[in-house]
Every structure is written in structure tokens, then in C-alpha cells.
Amino acid sequence: SMLVGLSLPAMADSTVDLVQALVSKGVLTEEEGALLSKGRSNEVEVQKKKESKSWTSRVNLRGYVQVRNTTMLGGDDGINLWSDRSVGDDKSLGDADKNFLIRRARLIIFGDYGDHLSYYIQPDFASTAGTGNNNFAQLRDAYGDVYIDKTRVHRVRVGQSKVPYGFENLQSSSNRLALDRNDALNSAVRDERDLGAFYYYTPTDIQALFEDINKQGLKHSGNYGMFALGLYNGQGANRPEQNDNYHVVSRFTYPWKAESGQIYEAGIQAYRGEYLSSTAAYSRRNAAGALASATPTLGTGTPLSGRNGIEDERVGISFIMYPQPFGIQAEWNWGNTPGLDITKNVIEKKSLNGGYVQAMYKIDNFQFLSTNGTLIPFVKWQYFDGYNKAETNSPENHVNDWELGVEWQLAPEVEIAMVYHRMNRTNLVTGNRVASAANTANNLQPREDYENFKAEALRVQLQYNF
């Protein structure tokens, strides 16, 4: 009967439904009904075509902004945390921002165009164009994914994008619990990104599991393939290549779901290449024990052994038990890197190792006042005995830090993170404050660069998503 035909109205088109009803009533003939229904479906087609040709179907915009504020709780003063300028006090080196800081202001322009292209352009509007001149727009990502087939199992990503080395490196900063990445793996690639070409292989079942992890809000890294292989310049994001050879990277990661529903992921990654450090004057104690300015050499001999780069190679392992509700995330890596020997005043091949362990607990439906959100307390320990090649002079970096924090997602659009951070680490900011008339006149006390410090801070971040 007609009523049966009408029983699923939301699935069909209401005009067609009405026409069919009138046909079944005998008001319209079958032929007339067909003609009218065809007219309606043509109309719908025209509308769909119009929508798919609209620029808004090819281009999408979204973004996020992170505003930070840090309060020092104790320990040494005049310190710097290289990854966050809001940490420090009025004796800190360089352009520490101490109070409020826009850490990231990201706008992402992305989309699919046709069957074979996805593209992703991500400027950061909190980049520094020169000392003291902040908040310029600089690229983080600018790449296209060219899909070999429509299943998206095989793809080649060309442009500036994240180098597939390390789970936390690949995870978006908008997703990460800790305010900064661990030094041990993050020191592998400046700003996590480089310019190159990367092949990614992701079987459809792995694609589905990655998507599942992401949809559950379990803070995934995003799909960088089950297997990845890439060639890239090697000097880091937004830096010119220096030595006309490539870095090569490969990664294998495997996620699986236990019968309990608990999801795990384990991965291994490695890269190698030659890296050219940037050098500048720094302040060190000379043989006589006095503070003096020095600029390191890239290796030794004539010509200098490191003039075209120094060996830069690592292997790392990752393990994640996703927070359902309790989770563990741990990574470690070992390798060789360009690093500064202060005694010799030479940058040369050095070894490194380090990583982190993080535990977290995801509380859904956390209700406070009129909000109904998600609360994730976490604790993170990180260790690094190595060098940060991408900082000026590739200084030694010793880290043994604890972070105890909580991320509160009030709503999809607003998140607050509060972290108690106990730092025991090297100050990587080059100050070059030797004793000089000029420094004295500017109230800059002489300081040795790259010293270790201990300090405690309460760090707060407000994040907007749009």
C-alpha cells in the first residue's frame, strides 16, 4: 500500500514521496509520476553538481590557537626552556616572554581535489621573523598527497611535511597532553618537518583502525602509514639545504586491538644523513678559566672535516597503550649526532640516547558547572643524554624532567592544560654574555652558555579550536 511506501520518508525525497502518493491514489498516472519524479531527481542532481563545483567543497579551513602563561615556582633563576619562551624570568637570556605567549596560532587550509590529490597548507602565525619581531606567518606544512589508487593504500607525499620519526613527533600539538615534546626524539628533526618526498603504505584495515583510534579521542599520531620511506633535505623545516645530499628515513608501525577492545601500537623508525650545524659566538671558560667568547669550528683540519656536514643517524622504538581509560606511551632512541665539545670548541660526531614514559587516564563525561567534557590527568618522565643539533652550535643537552599535569577539554572548542614541570636540564639558548663594557652598560651579567639548571614551574595553556 501507499503507506508502506511512505514508511521511510527520511530516506527518500519528500517531493518524490508526494508524487508517488498521488500516483498510488490515481490522481496522477504512472507516466506523469515518472516524469515529475525525473524532474525532481534532475533538480537534485543539478544542486549536487553545483555544490561539488563550489570552492567550499575543495577548500576547508580550520585551526587552533595556544596561549600560555608560566609561573616560576622555584629553583635557579635566569633560566630558559628552549621550547617555550614563556618560561623564565627577567634574568633569562634572549627574548624570553615570561608572561603571556602565543605559542602556536595555526590556520590549516586543506582539502581533497579530484580522486588523486589531498593537500595541506599550514602556516603558523606565531613565528618569529627576527629577534623581537614576533607573530609572523610561516609555513609548517605545505604538501600534497598523490594517491596511486582510490583506496589510498599507496601514496606519495611531496613538499614540506612531518618526517616520519617518532610517535610524539607525528602527533599534532593540538592533541598532545604535555605542553612540549620530549627532547630525546624531538631533537631528531627541527620543527618535526622537512622538505622531501615520502612514500606511505597503509592497508585498508590499518586505515580503519587508525581512524577508529582517532574518533575515540585517544590522541593518535595521525596516519603516517604502516610503512614509510622518505628522502628529505635534512636541515629541518624552513631552512635551506646546505650540503647537496639527502637524509633517508624509514618507519614501521603496527596498531592492534585486543579482544578486550584495548588498542595498542608499536613502532620502529630510523634515519641517517649528514647535518650541517649553524655556529655563532658563545660564552665559555677558556684555558685560563675566564669567560670568553668563542665560535666553534665544524670538525678539524684543513679543509675542516665537518664542512659538508657531520654524521646524523638514529634508531628509535615506540610503544603506545591507548588510554581506555588508562594508557601508557613510551619511546626511546639511540644514535650519533653533530654535537659541540666545549673543551675543544669543535662540533663533531657524538653519541646520544634518551626517551620518555608517559602514563595517562582518560575521564569521559567530566562535568563541571554547565560543562560536560573530558579530563585527562597524566605524568611524564623524560631523559636525554645527547645534543640538540638544530640549536645554534649544536650544544650538549642533558634532560631529566618530570611533568605532572591535566588536560581538560571543556568543549570541542576550548581546552585548558595545567602542568607542574620540574626541570633538570641544560639551558640551550645562546646568550654569549662575556664580561664586556657593552654588556655591563646593558646590565647583562657575564654567563657561561649551555649550563645545567634546576627549576620548577606551573605552566598553563588555553587552547582554542575552530
Binders of a second copy among 274-293, rule CB under 8 A?
Answer: 278
Q: How far is the CB of 401 from a second copy (least distance, A)?
A: 22
Binding of a second copy by 300 (CB under 8 A): no
Binding of a second copy by 303 (CB under 8 A): yes
Q: How far apart are CA 344 and CA 322, in angstroms?
A: 46
Residue choice 287, 288, 437, 441 for contact with a second copy (CB under 8 A)? 441
Binding of a second copy by 6 (CB under 8 A): yes
Binding of a second copy by 117 (CB under 8 A): yes
Phi, psi of 52 (to 5 degrees): -70, -20
Interface stretch with a second copy, choices 6-14, 214-222, 249-257, 352-360 (CB under 8 A): 6-14
Q: How many residues does the chain have?
A: 466
Residues 355-394, one symbol each (x = binds a second copy by CB under 8 A, - = not), give ----------------------------------------
C-alpha cell at 412: 570541542
Residue choice 80, 82, 119, 383 for contact with a second copy (CB under 8 A)? 119
The SS3 of residue 156 is strand
Q: How far apart are CA 26 and CA 35, in angstroms?
A: 15
Q: In sequence order, what are the residues at sequence separation of 6 or more whose Cβ sits closer than 8 angstroms to the Cβ of residue 44?
A: 13
Residue pair 262/255 in contact by the 8 Å Cβ criterion: no
Question: What residues numbered 207-246 form the site for a second copy, per CB under 8 A?
Answer: 232-233, 237-246
Which is closer to a second copy, CB of 351 or CB of 440?
Answer: 440
Phi, psi of 465 (to 5 degrees): -115, 140
* Selection from 465, 455, 370, 374 nearest residue 67 by Cα: 465
Question: What residues numbered 387-426 form the site for a second copy, per CB under 8 A?
Answer: 410-414
Interface stretch with a second copy, choices 158-166, 204-212, 329-337, 399-407 (CB under 8 A): 158-166
Binding of a second copy by 111 (CB under 8 A): yes
* Selection from 275, 291, 265 nearest residue 243 by Cα: 275
Which is closer to a second copy, CB of 239 or CB of 422?
Answer: 239
Question: What residues numbered 39-58 form the site for a second copy, per CB under 8 A?
Answer: 39-40, 42-43, 46, 54-56, 58
Which is closer to a second copy, CB of 268 or CB of 462?
Answer: 462
Which is closer to a second copy, CB of 63 or CB of 355?
Answer: 63
Q: What's the DSSP call for residue 38?
A: H
Q: Where are the extended beta strands (E) located within 114-262? A: 117-127, 136-147, 154-162, 193-201, 227-232, 247-257
Binding of a second copy by 65 (CB under 8 A): yes
Q: What is the identity of the amino acid at 110?
A: F
